[in-house]
Structure 1
Amino acid sequence: MAATSRGITKSLLPSAKSRATIAKRLAAVTGAMTTATIAEMESRHPWFSQLGAEPRSWITLVARAGIDGFVRWFSDPDPDGPSTSEVFGSAPREMARKISLSQTVELVRTTIEVVESQIDEVMPKGDRPILHAAIDQYSREVAFAAAEIYARAAELRGSWDARLEALVVDAVLRGETDETVLSRASTLGWRSTSAVVVVVGTAPEADQAHALETIRAIAARAKVDVLGAVQGDRMVVVLGGPTLADAQEAVAVVAGFSTQFGPGPVVVGPPVEHLMEAATSTRAALSGFRAATAWPEAPRPVGSDDLLPERALSGDGHARRTLARDIYDPLVAAGSGLLETLVTFIDQGSSVEAASRALFVHANTVRYRLRRIHEVTGYSPTDPRDVYALRLALTLGRLIRPTL
């Protein structure tokens, strides 16, 4: 006698000849069982009725393959363990994308319940105990096979998504964001239509995929979209969401996952309005990342605009023009002695009293003008770091705009 199969006891297991006879009677009603299964799916599961004709045909194919496979397995002279690859092998690979794992479980459960019901209705009483025990064993194997198929599909999708995401990030970095790139980003879950920033930092030495997944989880809690990829020794993350429109808020969001980067600076580019414009944020972030070594005390993360002096000195023309445009030009336009006061204040070692004597004005006038300089430029003449940027902006402004 053949070895027993899990779920079927020796006392219930008939001879191979008896099983073949039962299987022959069972095979005669498999068509009716398949029809009953599909009818039950339609009445029990609303999602089934909403499927198109092609996915419905896949399910019919799988249900029929499952029932036929059970008959073949049961009639096998040595039922050591059912082979269920033929059940799902009959369906196209796209089925795993159109029909979820939970829906597949519902399909398996409904099919088994219908088969069990049909066994009680159409099979002789003597056949029913062994068939019920056999279908119980077979259904477990089918369920395991379904889980394995979806696990493999998820793994393949993960690998494909990672490659696609790397291509999208590379296009963003190169400033080649077109409709095709936007479509690919949408496929990866990108929904943001406002406020985009690019973040650049050192790639972690180990488990880079886990670092990116952690970043996605943290960003999701902040309601921010994420695209990320590792490029050589650096990791690039593109963020999107309305909260990022404020540069300080963007840095605060990045602070929540900055530990996922490797050692070294983490630079946040300035916010732009759309993914199509992300090249501007990318350029600033990459420039800041290269220049950050000149400011080892910089916070982590740091905004690229906070690195304007270092970027300007490292040869970034955009940084030079930004310093001249945002600091020097407004001071010239404001008049009221602000530019002269700033130059004198810095030259006098940031001493209000010394500056007031050199300018022949009251010390309070100097203090008022210093406050106005802060209001006009956003940089405080009394802050050492800001003074560094102000001094460099004055020099660059005179070089770039000598006629002002």
Structure 2
Amino acid sequence: MSNHPEELTEQCEALLLLPPGAHRERQATILGRSAADATDSLDDLVTAMLSAATTMWTRRSPQPDETPTAVHAHATDLLRTLTDVINTTTAGFHDHIRRHLADHDEQRTGFVNDLLTGRADPGHLAERAHRYGIRLSGSHVVTVASSPAFTDTTIRDIDAALASRYGAGNTLTTLRDGQLICISTSGLRGLPAELAHHLLTRLGTNTWQIGVGRAHPGINGIATSLDEARNTLDLADKLGFTTPILNAADLLVFPVLLRDRDAITDLVTTVLGPLQHARGGAQPYLDTLTVLFDNQGNHTATARHMHLSVRAVTYRLERIHALTGYHPNEPTQRFTLHTAVLGARLLGWPH
């Protein structure tokens, strides 16, 4: 189908001349789909339909014995036909767009799944990657965003915005397992911040969080970067980190802690175990230490955050010292106590 306005108007006129029924409805649907396929806009289609109706009315020859009532009836019939045809044509237009987007999303999702799992043949995978401008031999960074508010439309809009900002061959964004997955060429400056800007605009605050993997080369590197980004979000959930953007490179100490689970469990139970014998259990004291370390040891900020007096915070710290033998104000004991608190948060101790 051509994009020339004259040809589109002629097709609309031929459609308006058809008698009402299933055939006209079918042809109207076909015209709408063809217009969408030819990248005509919906405005172009409606304008052509109105132009065709105007031409038909202008060419109409009035009959000598035609009364005003008959002219009115003829005009009403034309407008009714125009309305029916426009409704059916635009429905076909939108249906085709939805089908095209669904197919595109399905193909993109399938490619990303194969890319991240490595199940596909490498040669075929490289051929498909070429369609999206991805060079599998290069280094890539995977950024993952988590939010319960993601929809296909949101992801599609963000994908278009990132592609417009950085170039279509440098980013690929899709929805996978309820998360936004963005594969980007290594070295793109400010991409996590740009993504955060779009999420903030569309979803508001406190509804999303971004994890950024490190740059790795090759196909396997993409899967590695994905694991790092997802693990970063998982750690943030366990540790209660609320920072909007978290980089895997900044949290490398935590996988080290978890790598020897027996050792970190022994550290937690040895250092913090005595707190379980305190009145009210260990949790209030563990919460106090957590907030204290989050505020760089500032007693006033800790008290304000916990809605306590500074004296109450000081009392709790003295009780921790009495029960465990460790005090966060002692430089030689602070690191051990802080590590034990982080380990407790990772393990979900004492629950």
TM-score by length of 2: 0.52
8 Å CA contact retained: 1:66, 1:87 = no
- Residue 228 of structure 1 is aligned with which of 174, 188, 197? 174
Per the alignment, residue 96 of structure 2 pairs with 153
- How big is the shift at 1:268? 0.8
- Residue 74 of structure 2 is aligned with which of 116, 128, 131? 131
Taking the aligned partners of 2:251 and 2:227, their CA distance within structure 1 comes to 13
Per the alignment, residue 38 of structure 2 pairs with 98
Per the alignment, residue 311 of structure 1 pairs with 255
Per the alignment, residue 25 of structure 2 pairs with 85
User: For residue 128 of structure 2, what is the amino acid of its counterpart?
Assistant: V
- How big is the shift at 1:222? 4.8
8 Å CA contact retained: 1:165, 1:229 = no
- How big is the shift at 1:107? 3.0
SS at match of 1:47: coil
Q: Which runs of 5+ in 2 are unaligned?
A: 261-333, 339-351
SS at match of 1:299: coil
User: For residue 172 of structure 1, what is the amino acid of its counterpart?
Assistant: L
What pairs with 1:164-243 in structure 2 (closer than 5 Å)?
A: 164-175=107-118, 178-182=125-129, 185=132, 196-204=140-148, 206=149, 208-209=151-152, 211-213=154-156, 215-216=158-159, 219=162, 222-223=165-166, 225-231=171-177, 234-240=178-184
TM-score by length of 1: 0.47
8 Å CA contact retained: 1:195, 1:271 = yes
Kindly provide the CA deviation profile for residues 68-101 of structure 1, in whole angstroms up to 9, marking residues without a partner as x: 22xx68xxxxxxxx99514414559555312522
Aligned length: 247
Judged with a 3 Å threshold, the aligned counterparts in structure 2 of structure 1 residues 132 and 297 are, in CA distance, closer, same or farther, namely closer
8 Å CA contact retained: 1:285, 1:304 = yes
RMSD between aligned alpha carbons? 4.7
Q: Which runs of 5+ in 1 are unaligned?
A: 1-45, 51-55, 74-81, 317-383, 389-404
Judged with a 3 Å threshold, the aligned counterparts in structure 2 of structure 1 residues 132 and 125 are, in CA distance, closer, same or farther, namely farther
Instruction: Please say if 1:112 is aligned against 2:56.
Output: no
Per the alignment, residue 68 of structure 1 pairs with 18
User: For residue 161 of structure 1, what is the amino acid of its counterpart?
Assistant: H
Taking the aligned partners of 2:65 and 2:188, their CA distance within structure 1 comes to 74
User: For residue 200 of structure 1, what is the amino acid of its counterpart?
Assistant: V
Judged with a 3 Å threshold, the aligned counterparts in structure 2 of structure 1 residues 250 and 49 are, in CA distance, closer, same or farther, namely closer
The sequence identity of aligned pairs, in percent, is 13
- How big is the shift at 1:210? 5.3
8 Å CA contact retained: 2:29, 2:89 = no
SS at match of 1:199: strand
What pairs with 1:221-370 in structure 2 (closer than 5 Å)?
A: 222-223=165-166, 225-231=171-177, 234-240=178-184, 245-246=188-189, 249-257=190-198, 260=203, 266-271=210-215, 278-292=222-236, 295-297=239-241, 299-315=243-259
Per the alignment, residue 277 of structure 2 pairs with none
- Which one has more relative contact order, counting CA pairs under 8 Å at least 6 apart? 2
User: For residue 17 of structure 2, what is the amino acid of its counterpart?
Assistant: I
- How big is the shift at 1:155? 3.1
